[in-house]
A and B are shown apart, each in its own frame.
Chain A
Amino acid sequence: MHFPSVFSSSTASPLPTLSDSAMDPPLPVSSSEPPKDIFSEPPADTFKDPLNKTSAEKAASGGLSKAQAAVPVKVAADEELDDLFSDSLGESGAAPVTDAKIAPLLDLGEEPQKSDVIKKDGNADLFKEPLGAMTKKPQGSLFTEAKSEAKAARPEQSNSAAADLFTEEAFTVTPVVAAAKSSVNTSSKTNGLHSDEEDLFAEATVELSLDSPHNDRRKREAAKPSAPAPSLSASASTSKPQPKTLEELEEEEKEDTFDLNISVTNPEKVGKSTTSLSMFRSKQFTVRRRFSDFLGLYEKLSEKHAQNGYIVPPPPEKSILGMTKVKVGKEDPSSAEFVERRRAALERYLHRVVSHPSLLQDPDVREFLEKEELPRAVSTQALSGAGFLKMINKATDAVSKMTIKMNESDVWFEEKLQEVESEDQQLRKLHAMVESLVNHRKELSVNTAMFAKSVAMLGSSEDNTALSRALSQLAEVEDRIEQLHQDQASNDFFIFAELLADYIRLLGAVRACFDQRMKAWQRWQDAQNMLQKKRETEAKLLWANKPDKLQQAKDEIVEWEAKVSQYEREFERVSATVRKEVIRFEKEKSRDFKKQIIRYLESLLQSQQQLIKYWEAFLPEAKAIA
């Protein structure tokens, strides 16, 4: 275990354990903040790192943060760190640059870190830490330059970079840099273990770091390289969406490729993911995004559009469990599956966003697709203060939903809402069943594999030559069939179950837009009530003969009359939008389902065709038994 030692030496502080790191978050103060950065970065790294590593990292990060916190920030030290960092980066870049492809992967990994850093930076600014400013700039430049190299270098090294840091002294510098950055950034928490969790933890502090100055960006970049390896980075390459050619864009084919490679080198595991969304026709774009960036995009979009009655496609949920597995697990097929699942889900999510005519025009979408760096997504974490606020909002929403009794004037909405609700239930049921199909098919695949092995053994001890041959052929056939079942199980999942999962989420969004309409209605009603009250007061004043206050009351009535009509218009508008959106949604849904069902059937068809081939090849063998 090199890591622990390295860290301890660099930090000189006792390695704080995970719990410590977790505890750190409360320290929004500059001192506490550093840890955050550290954490966020390390977590990403840890992501792919085997548990040991992760723990080590965590400890290390914790240590670093502590150390920084303990020591009044030393800008100079940070800078030095930066230098070291940059050097290391350069080295890393120099080394394996050869594979261009690999590089993007690495970039991805780095980017996530960036985002973290950015947030942190933002925090730092808020806090106004001198260190942050100082360090940021230098780092930014260094990093930006280094970045490209680093990216290239990382392909192999994404792991190694992170790993190296820990393992090799030269690289150890990098961790330090990260620490420095973290110190600069106010971000509070880092979970070595889970990137997702990382977000969760980071959230509390992250809220503070809403601002993302340009400097921050640089820092982010810097952070990227420095960060051991934030695993999830998605680079989406998109031809620049030009607002004017929206329709064209819609028609354009979008190819998304999102690869997440997890490689294990030394003790560390680093994951990289790439998404390239390219819309042809114009230039191709590639950007790297973290998972939380996708969530951030959703937050922004829903903030802007949901209240107008738009159905904002929800992104895939975070899965701490899955992510932890990815970070912790080695070359585990289940983590690979998890990553692929998330990749596909994000891809579909983007497609849905882009295919929505109004959302496509949103500047945030375009920024997401084409901007090199994105301010770190904020408030995507469950436990952060913003998250907390959101939760409270949701709770009050739920309460008001219950209390609002809308006497629906429009039957269409009433019926639709009911339809949506019952469909939601049905889809959930169906989803559970398809999941069980997936599991049963996986079981079948496993059992078939065992049978194949067993038959092969039986064949080897059979003393009749022809029968022995036939049995081993049978074993081979069963082996192939096992693969077939396995593939089919993943088709069941990716084509069928994921479609249902998507639509369950989307139906949630649909319901949310109904809620928005209800809210608009409520506003209108409240205004009307208020107007009513004002009129009553006017009447009372008239009765009491108080002309001095009468004028004021009259003014208020005029004001509220205007409000009532405004709210009424708004309600009408939202209603119209909701109606349009629901119709559009249904159209999309039916197209999607059709497409997917056909795809699914085709996959089944294919596996049956393979099955025929296998058995037909086996038949003569059976007949040859004499």
Chain B
Amino acid sequence: MIKLIVQLSSPSLLRSVSVDLNNDSSLLIDIPDALCERDKVKFTVHTKTTLNSFQKPDFSVSRQHEDFIWLHDTLVETEEYAGLIIPPAPPKPDFESPREKMHKLGEGEATMTKEEYTKMKQELEAEYLAVFKKTVQVHEIFLQRLSSHPNLSKDRNFQIFLEYDQDLSVRRKNAKEMFGGFFKNMVKSADEVLISGIKDVDEFFEQEKTFLLDYFSKIKDSTAKAEKMTRSHKNVADDYIHISATLNSIAADDNTALKQHLEKFAELLEKLRKVEGRVASDQELKLTELLRYYMRDIQAAKDLLYRRARALADYENSNKALDKARLKSKDVAQAEENQKQCLLKFDKLSESGKKELTSFKGRRVVAFRKNLIEMAELEIKHAKQCVILHSTCIDLMDSSFIFAVVQVRGRR
């Protein structure tokens, strides 16, 4: 078992998902440091600000994943933000798969040479580190999106999250609440189905709805497929390790002219394996992560649409209630008031929703552009490196190959 204590100094090294953030320097947040112990990851959240709502211009606090979730949930539940796309909560750190692999590797240790084992272990550690970095990164992005949002950055809870220098000691959800949350989700999705039947008055939202629904299912599929693809790419890279190690041990026993060729071949494969590994991890970072992030973001946008649709339904119900009240001429004023409130809320939601969705679209396109370009460039870079590796190796072998042939002929 590896010890899962990883200290991270500069997580922003790899920024896989670009979010179109405002270049507003009044509130800058980053996570310069994180510590992983067992299942718990402690993030150091560092804030630099010029806003006077904070007591100090520069401070750091330590936060755990659950704190982030708490922040996200309170934002979602705040009525005021119903018309906003709440940045998706960062996913729970998942160290299971590298850990499991590490376990498997430990079991298979006997079948491998020491060298092979060390390499495999290194690979896994690198993988683990990558997962860790990615985790830190998504948490950072979550905070940065909040800080760059004109309304959300002023949220009280957000500021507490950033500033309060004690443990937030967010209560973990107990079983009842978990169940409650589950139930709420059920109700919500049932409600969603019911409401979705209502024809929207606004063309924009109607379109958005069909688009997002469709897009969500597609991007979800693509994410899963991309994940599979990168994983199998990684497998190929790992195979090179084994092959290279075995070639080396064959070369060690060989004392003919073949020896050096086998060694060269093994060496090449060792280099190739690194490059292929990079290709896989870059794909993961630039492509899979992008898709994954936007899958969650689209979910957030869908939630916004849901809230608006709910408000619309509420408004229509209040209309009906008003009609009824008028008919019976009872509680008319109250009903009128209620209807007015609903309309107000709905209009507000529609207005900010439109703005949010439009900016979301722009943000998505920019992010895709950036990542696709970066990925293509990286692919080209890696492939070029492979080409160089291959051709030098072939040249080396060819020259000695010809030499060997000449020798053989000469002997004849």
Contact = CB atoms under 8 A, between A and B. Distances in A.
Interface of A: 419, 422-423, 426-427, 429-430, 433-434, 436-437, 440-441, 443-444, 447-448, 450-451, 453-455, 457-458, 461-464, 466-467, 470-471, 474, 586-587, 589-591, 593-595, 597-598, 601-602, 604-605, 608-609, 611-612, 615-616, 618-619, 622-623, 625-626
Contact of A612 (B242, B384, B393): B384
A619 B261 contact: no
Nearest to A610: B383
B17 interface: no
Contact of B372 (A433, A444, A604, A622): A622
B337 interface: no
A42 to B, nearest CB: 42
28 contacts: A427-B250, A433-B243, A433-B246, A436-B242, A437-B239, A437-B240, A440-B232, A443-B232, A444-B236, A450-B225, A451-B229, A454-B221, A454-B222, A455-B222, A463-B211, A467-B365, A467-B369, A590-B256, A591-B408, A593-B261, A594-B258, A601-B397, A604-B386, A605-B390, A612-B387, A623-B373, A625-B368, A626-B365
Contacts of B265: 597, 601
- Tell me whether chain B's interface is mostly helix, strand or loop, or mixed: helix
Contact of A458 (B222, B231, B253, B404): B222
A110 B388 CA distance: 50
B394 A615 contact: no
B250 A467 contact: no
B380 A619 contact: yes
Interface in B254-292: 254, 256-258, 261-262, 265, 268, 272
Interface stretch (B33-41, B212-220, B310-318): B212-220
Given A434-B243, A462-B215, A608 B232 contact: no
A437 B373 contact: no
Nearest to B240: A437
Contacts of B329: none
Given A437-B239, A447-B228, A625-B365, A594 B408 contact: no
B239 A464 contact: no
Given A447-B225, A619-B377, A625-B368, A608 B408 contact: no
Contacts, number: 168
Contact of A608 (B218, B228, B261, B383): B383
Nearest to B221: A454
B48 interface: no
B387 A608 contact: yes
A409 B141 CA distance: 75
Contacts of B365: 464, 466-467, 625-626
Given A590-B258, A619-B376, A440 B236 contact: yes
B380 A612 contact: yes
B322 interface: no
Nearest to A597: B265
Contact of B258 (A443, A589, A598, A601): A589
Contacts of B225: 447, 450-451, 453-455
A419 B253 contact: yes
Contacts of A594: 258, 261, 397, 401, 404
Nearest to A608: B386
B235 A440 contact: yes
Given A461-B214, A604-B386, A593 B262 contact: yes
A118 to B, nearest CB: 41
Nearest to A617: B376
B386 A437 contact: no
A447 B365 CA distance: 25
A592 to B, nearest CB: 9
A426 B249 contact: yes
A89 to B, nearest CB: 50
B194 to A, nearest CB: 25
A601 B222 contact: no
Contacts of A441: 236
B282 to A, nearest CB: 12
B233 interface: yes
Most chain B beta carbons < 10 A, residue from A618, A622, A623 = A622
Contacts of B376: 615-616, 618-619, 622
Nearest to B265: A597
Nearest to B213: A461
A598 B229 contact: no
Contacts of A611: 379, 383
Contacts of A462: 215
A602 B239 contact: no
The contact size tier of chain B is 35 or more
A430 B380 contact: no
B215 A461 contact: yes
B331 interface: no
Contacts of B114: none
Contacts of A464: 361, 364-365
B143 interface: no
A443 B218 CA distance: 22
B226 interface: yes
B408 A454 contact: no
B261 A625 contact: no
Contacts of A454: 218, 221-222, 225-226
B10 to A, nearest CB: 27
A455 B229 CA distance: 12
Contacts of A430: 243, 246-247, 250
B78 interface: no
B398 interface: yes
B391 interface: yes
A457 B384 CA distance: 30
Nearest to B257: A590
Contacts of B373: 619, 622-623
Given A454-B222, A602-B390, 12 more contacts: A427-B250, A447-B231, A451-B222, A455-B222, A590-B257, A593-B261, A594-B261, A597-B261, A597-B397, A602-B394, A605-B387, A622-B369
A598 B221 CA distance: 40
Contacts of B369: 467, 470, 622-623, 625-626
Given A440-B232, A444-B233, A593-B262, A433 B257 contact: no
Most chain B beta carbons < 10 A, residue from A422, A440, A455, A594 = A594
Nearest to B218: A458
Contact of A593 (B236, B258, B361, B368): B258
Contacts of A463: 211, 361
Contacts of B390: 601-602, 604-605, 608
B236 A461 contact: no
Interface in B393-412: 393-394, 397-398, 401, 404-405, 408
B247 A440 contact: no
A598 B257 contact: no
A587 B408 contact: yes
A598 B380 contact: no
B383 A444 contact: no
A470 B372 CA distance: 9
Contacts of B387: 605, 608-609, 612
A461 B373 CA distance: 21
Interface string B91-112: 0000000000000000000000
Interface in B331-375: 361, 364-365, 368-369, 372-373
A434 B377 CA distance: 30
Given A458-B219, A467-B369, A601 B361 contact: no
Contact of A615 (B240, B272, B383): B383
- Which 5 residue pairs of A and B lie closest in terms of their CB atoms, listed nearest first? A590-B258, A605-B390, A625-B369, A622-B372, A437-B239
Contacts of A619: 373, 376-377, 380
B187 to A, nearest CB: 29
Contacts of A586: 256
